[in-house]
């Protein structure tokens, strides 16, 4: 038995539209347009098939070349309709109609006669009747395809109109947004520049306040270090609580200038202040040689202690006594330029106990 021409043509004929749809990511709009094009092409092939079939049934046979043309139009029509069904719900629903399937089944029987090139002697009906039946059924089939084509064209028009409306809406919105951008861009730039200036001013003010804070912290640290022992000052600077302590025994030394009130009356205040500063520096230098702690200076009075905050047993008495003796030695020849003949004397008091 010779090979089936229809099967051979189905394997050899490829539709460029299907390749395009398979290779490209297209939307429903493009699919509808391509499906409509497929149906229109299928109508043309069905018309050619109708004419060739009429010739076959009228002439009582086909040549091999005419048979190939018939099969090509038949296969192309079926292939294009199959592609249209794949990408269009309208074509798929139309294909499921009972009247369409009934007409297609009748045409398939005639196609088998042509495909097998049945001779006149094998026909069971008059060739003119068969030709009329073929033309009638093919005309009905072509009319149905025209109806499908009209429905799909209407769908494409609706989709095109909807797409056009959306496109116009998008264009209008884009134009409005562009106008807003041009209108508000200068204001945005102005506000941005103003904000940056405000941030810079705030940054400079913050930097200035930070420097002041650092200076105050240093001043506070110096004040704490001068007022308290190093161990106590360190705890205070860290914000830690300093618990009170009891010292069993310690020695305190009080130093002041004898007849200081008389000196104040005789000498200008600036000279007195300069003299007191020099005197206290001398006492500080002597105190640094002994295990003593400077408590405070008030006016012309200098207070030092030994035995606290660091306990040193009974040695505090010796340390304070040595400090007093050292001060007496250092100030033995102490005098002032404004009173060169007057010796400056210190009054020193020591107290030891608990």
The model's pLDDT over 207-250, given as tens digits with 9 standing for 90+, comes to 888 888 888 878 877 777 777 777 777 777 777 777 777 888 89
Q: What is the pLDDT of residue 22?
A: 40
Question: In the predicted model, is pLDDT for residue 10 greater than 70?
Answer: no
The answer for 61, left when phi > 0, alpha when psi is -120 to 50, beta otherwise, is: left
Q: Report the candidate in 135, 6, 141 with the shortest Cα–Cα distance to residue 70.
A: 6
Q: What is the pLDDT of residue 252?
A: 92
Higher pLDDT, 177 or 278: 278
Q: In sequence order, what are the residues at sequence separation of 6 or more whose Cβ sits closer than 8 angstroms to the Cβ of residue 104?
A: 141
How large a percentage of the chain has pLDDT more than 70? Answer: 84
Q: Which CATH architecture has domain 250-353?
A: 2-Layer Sandwich (3.30)
Are 306 and 251 in contact by the 8 Å Cβ rule? The answer is: yes
* CA dist 325 → 114, 158, 249, 290, 322 (Å): 145, 118, 21, 12, 5
Average pLDDT over residues 285-299: 86
Question: In the predicted model, is pLDDT for residue 290 greater than 80?
Answer: yes
Average pLDDT over residues 72-100: 85
Taking the mean position of all CA atoms in its chain, how far away is CA 122? 81
Q: Report the candidate in 148, 130, 142, 152 with the shortest Cα–Cα distance to residue 45.
A: 142
Question: In the predicted model, is pLDDT for residue 18 greater than 60?
Answer: no
Angle separating helix axes 127-227 and 98-115, nearest 10 degrees: 120
Q: Report the candidate in 327, 316, 318, 277 with the shortest Cα–Cα distance to residue 293.
A: 316
One DSSP character per residue, 219-265 reads HHHHHHHHHS-HHHHHHHHTT--------S-EEEEEEEETTHHHHHH
The model's pLDDT over 241-264, given as tens digits with 9 standing for 90+, comes to 777 778 888 999 999 888 888 888
Are 77 and 49 in contact by the 8 Å Cβ rule? The answer is: yes
Average pLDDT over residues 27-38: 77
* CA dist 183 → 5, 179, 189 (Å): 71, 6, 11
β-strand 250-257 against 301-306: which pairing, if any? antiparallel
CA distance 286 to 302: 12
Maximum C-alpha span of the chain = 169
Q: What is the pLDDT of residue 6?
A: 43
Question: In the predicted model, is pLDDT for residue 151 greater than 60?
Answer: yes
Average pLDDT over residues 43-64: 80
Q: Report the candidate in 112, 111, 89, 108 with the shortest Cα–Cα distance to residue 100.
A: 108
Quick one: pLDDT band at residue 125, thresholds 50, 70, 90? low
Average pLDDT over residues 76-89: 85
Residue whose tokens read 């460029």: 16
Are 279 and 297 in contact by the 8 Å Cβ rule? The answer is: no
CA distance 185 to 169: 24
Average pLDDT over residues 37-62: 82
Joined together, the tokens standing for residue 170 give 């998008």
Higher pLDDT, 31 or 319: 319
Average pLDDT over residues 35-52: 86
**Hey, how many other C-beta atoms are within 10 angstroms of the C-beta on 329?**
10
Instruction: Report the range of poorest mean pLDDT among 267-271, 278-282, 340-344.
Output: 340-344
Share the mean pLDDT of the chain: 78
Question: In the predicted model, is pLDDT for residue 1 greater than 80?
Answer: no
Q: Where are the domains of the chain?
A: 5-167, 250-353
Average pLDDT over residues 18-22: 41
Residue 253's beta-bridge partner residues? 304, 350
């Amino acid at each position: 038995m010779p090979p089936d021409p229809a099967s051979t043509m189905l394997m050899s004929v490829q539709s460029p539209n299907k390749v395009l749809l398979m290779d490209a990511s297209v939307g429903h709009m493009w699919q509808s347009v391509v499906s409509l094009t497929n149906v229109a092409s299928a109508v043309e092939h069905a018309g050619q098939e109708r004419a060739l079939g009429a010739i076959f049934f009228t002439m009582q046979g086909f040549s091999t070349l005419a048979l190939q043309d018939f099969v090509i139009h038949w296969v192309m029509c079926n292939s294009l309709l199959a592609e249209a069904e794949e990408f269009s719900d309208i074509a798929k629903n139309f294909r499921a109609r009972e009247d369409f399937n009934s007409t297609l089944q009748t045409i398939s029987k005639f196609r088998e006669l042509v495909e097998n090139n049945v001779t006149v002697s094998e026909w069971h009906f008059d060739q003119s009747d068969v030709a009329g039946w073929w033309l009638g059924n093919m005309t009905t089939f072509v009319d149905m395809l025209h109806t499908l084509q009209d429905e799909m064209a209407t769908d494409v028009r609706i989709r095109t109109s909807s797409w056009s409306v959306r496109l116009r809406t998008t264009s209008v919105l884009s134009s409005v947004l562009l106008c807003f951008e041009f209108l508000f861009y200068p204001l945005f730039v102005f506000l941005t520049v103003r904000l940056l200036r405000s941030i810079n001013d705030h940054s400079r003010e913050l930097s200035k306040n930070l420097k002041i804070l650092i200076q105050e912290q240093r001043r506070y640290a110096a004040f704490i270090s001068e007022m308290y022992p190093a161990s106590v000052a360190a705890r205070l600077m860290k914000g830690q609580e300093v618990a009170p302590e009891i010292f069993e025994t310690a020695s305190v030394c009080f130093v002041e200038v004898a007849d200081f009130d008389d000196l104040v009356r005789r000498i200008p205040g600036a000279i007195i202040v300069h003299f007191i500063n020099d005197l206290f520096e001398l006492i500080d230098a002597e105190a640094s040689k002994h295990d003593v702690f400077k408590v405070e200076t008030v006016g012309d009075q200098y207070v030092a202690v030994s035995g606290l905050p660091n306990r040193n047993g009974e040695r505090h008495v010796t340390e304070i006594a040595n400090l007093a003796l050292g001060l007496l030695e250092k100030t033995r020849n102490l005098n002032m330029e404004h009173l060169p003949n007057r010796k400056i004397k210190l009054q020193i008091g020591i107290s030891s106990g608990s």
